[in-house]
Amino acid sequence: MEMLVFATKVQHAVREALGEEYHVELKEVRKNNGVILQGLVIRRGEDNIMPTIYLNSFLKAYEQGITFADIIRKIVSVYREDAVGKEIDISFFCDFEKVKDRICFRLINKEKNKELLEMAPFIPILDLAACFYYACEEGGVINGVIPVYHSHLEVWGVTDRELFECAVRNTPKLFPCEIMPMKSALREMLQELEEMGEDIAGKLDQIIPMMILTNSRKTYGACCIMYPKVLERLAGSVGGDYYLIPSSVHEFILLPLSQGRSAEELKEMIAEVNSSEIPPEDVLSDSLYLYSCKERCVKIL
């Protein structure tokens, strides 16, 4: 079924399920890397929280056999759990003094987000861009994000550089970095590894000499490469230069250069994984990066 046909049916069914008090409309939303998702926006009366529920995954579930009635019940349930009864007074957003302590940055692909970056302040980092957002947790909202645009800077009377200074201070504090061996990440994802015993678990360190760099929430954690002194400390941990493999916007994979993997082999792997395994909106870059201890910097290979 085509997305627009499915979305229109969902819109009508959700409106009927919720009742006349609710306003339900469809909206195309531009996400990271220019990805367009079809969203369902629901508003009750004069509530100022209007959650957007993305329908792409629901269409996929429907095509895989989930009934339409179950889809509607799930959407209504998600809305009632996440939005009903919640309100946010957003007047504070006009005062920079009230927002400056929660201004953060995240890394996105510069080339794939040209249209967004025309409207938003950013700092170029190699082939990436550090753009800014307000980490919102008002009104019971968890992990809320309000993107920062040039129009906000005009109201606040601040520069890109001042914004960056706030983000450098806030982001590591609000979202501390986490570094874990790939073995540990695999154990979290595949609990059956724990049944293998210590001997096999120990061998995983030799088989998979990689580490994962992300943040405490594992969301937009790739920006941890910008945290002060993180890359230098990692060089000490791995014993020298290392590759930075952009797994997604949420994390980097670190591989010691001493492991002998060729740059060309890794670049091919990155491109293949990005094209087949990573959701398009989560792709960070097809580039391979190297941290040089001697130069104390990251460069594109």
> Which tens digit of pLDDT belongs to each residue from 211-257?
899 999 899 999 999 999 999 998 888 889 999 999 999 999 999 98
Sequence letter at residue 32: N
> Which tens digit of pLDDT belongs to each residue from 6-25?
999 999 999 999 888 888 99
Largest CA distance in the chain: 66
Determine phi and psi for 217, rounding to 5 degrees. Answer: -100, -5
Give me the percent of the chain exceeding a pLDDT of 70. 84
> Which tens digit of pLDDT belongs to each residue from 183-197?
655 555 555 545 544
For 160-270, strand residue ranges (E) read 177-181, 211-215, 242-248, 251-256
Give residue 200's pLDDT band: very low, low, confident or very high (50, 70, 90).
Answer: very low
User: Is the distance from CB of 257 to CB of 241 less than 8 angstroms?
Assistant: yes
pTM: 0.80
* Number of other CB atoms surrounding residue 23 within 10 Å: 14
Question: Could you give the 3-state DSSP secondary structure of residue 109?
Answer: strand
Angle, in degrees to the nearest 10, between helices 68-82 and 3-18 = 60
C-alpha closest to that of 223 among 104, 100, 66: 104
Distance CA 95, CA 161 (A): 18
For residue 189, CA distances in Å to 1, 183, 224, 244 come to 33, 10, 22, 22
C-alpha closest to that of 163 among 96, 230, 110: 96
User: Is the distance from CB of 22 to CB of 42 less than 8 angstroms?
Assistant: yes
Distance CA 122, CA 229 (A): 21
Angle, in degrees to the nearest 10, between helices 182-189 and 198-207 = 130
Question: Could you give the 3-state DSSP secondary structure of residue 247?
Answer: strand
User: Is the distance from CB of 232 to CB of 292 less than 8 angstroms?
Assistant: no
CB within 8 A of 27, min separation 6: which ones?
38, 39, 40, 41, 52
> Which tens digit of pLDDT belongs to each residue from 134-167?
987 755 555 678 899 999 999 999 998 999 999 9
Edge-first strand order for the sheet with 36-44 is 22-30, 36-44, 52-54
